[in-house]
Chains A and B, each alone.
Chain A
Amino acid sequence: DTGVSQNPRHKITKRGQNVTFRCDPISEHNRLYWYRQTLGQGPEFLTYFQNEAQLEKSRLLSDRFSAERPKGSFSTLEIQRTEQGDSAMYLCASSFYNMGETQYFGPGTRLLVL
């Protein structure tokens, strides 16, 4: 499968715990995006990388959220001290800049905070 992959697909955690999600983009794509999607809503942009540089992070929901893409390939999204309101689907997408901005999405990680 050469599409965007995300792990884990599902995560249940207790309030206050830290969680980390991983995204592996399409291999030749240089841009990687993170979104959050709550039930009945469209994806909400959080942050994106071009190669290893994080070009936009002001939309991260709070300072409990952070993302990395250390080698310009896979990325991780970490949520510290999770809250029940963090329960959502976290989507990753990738694209190849300069060849249109079509973003291809992964299957998402569904987070449930108890």
Chain B
Amino acid sequence: GESVGLHLPTLSVQEGDNSIINCAYSNSASDYFIWYKQESGKGPQFIIDIRSNMDKRQGQRVTVLLNKTVKHLSLQIAATQPGDSAVYFCAETDNNDMRFGAGTRLTVKP
């Protein structure tokens, strides 16, 4: 989703549920996409990446899906844990610079 100023999109899930965070990107020339997790007061932390020649990539408890037709990226977190609470950013790059989305705040309720 889109956000303006301080109003980050938010997602609240119950511990143990699956989470899906969505991101729309704008540059059709982007060929590399990354999801980052950022906890309060810390720098973004790499979670998972995907290249434009793929539409799905799985990591440990995380899956990234890429739909180039509609320029949409999603991050799925399985069995969400309290430690997953953070702001999640998608980023896209065409090898010149990296552009970040506004972020989604994930809150995991125990």
The number of residues on chain B lying at the interface, defined by a beta carbon within 8 Å of a beta carbon of chain A, is: 27
A106 in contact with B97 (CB, 8 Å): no
The prevalent SS among residues of A at the interface is loop
Query: Which residues from A are CB-within-8-Å of B7?
Result: 40
Query: Which residues from B are CB-within-8-Å of A106?
Result: 43
Q: Per a CB cutoff under 8 Å, which of A39, A59, A107 touches B97?
A: A59
User: Which residues of A in the span 75-114 have a Cβ within 8 Å of any Cβ on B?
Assistant: 91, 93, 100-108
Count A-B pairs with CB separation below 8 Å: 57
CA distance A103 to B92 in the complex (A): 11
Whose C-beta in chain A lies nearest to the C-beta of B4? A40
The answer to the question of A33 belonging to the interface, with a C-beta cut-off of 8 Å to chain B, is: yes
B5 in contact with A101 (CB, 8 Å): no
- Give the size category of A's interface with B: 20 to 34
Chain B proximity mask over A41-84: 1 for CB below 8 Å, otherwise 0: 11111001000000010010000000000000000000000000
Chain B CB within 10 A, most for which of A39, A45, A91: A45
B5 in contact with A40 (CB, 8 Å): yes
CA distance A42 to B100 in the complex (A): 5
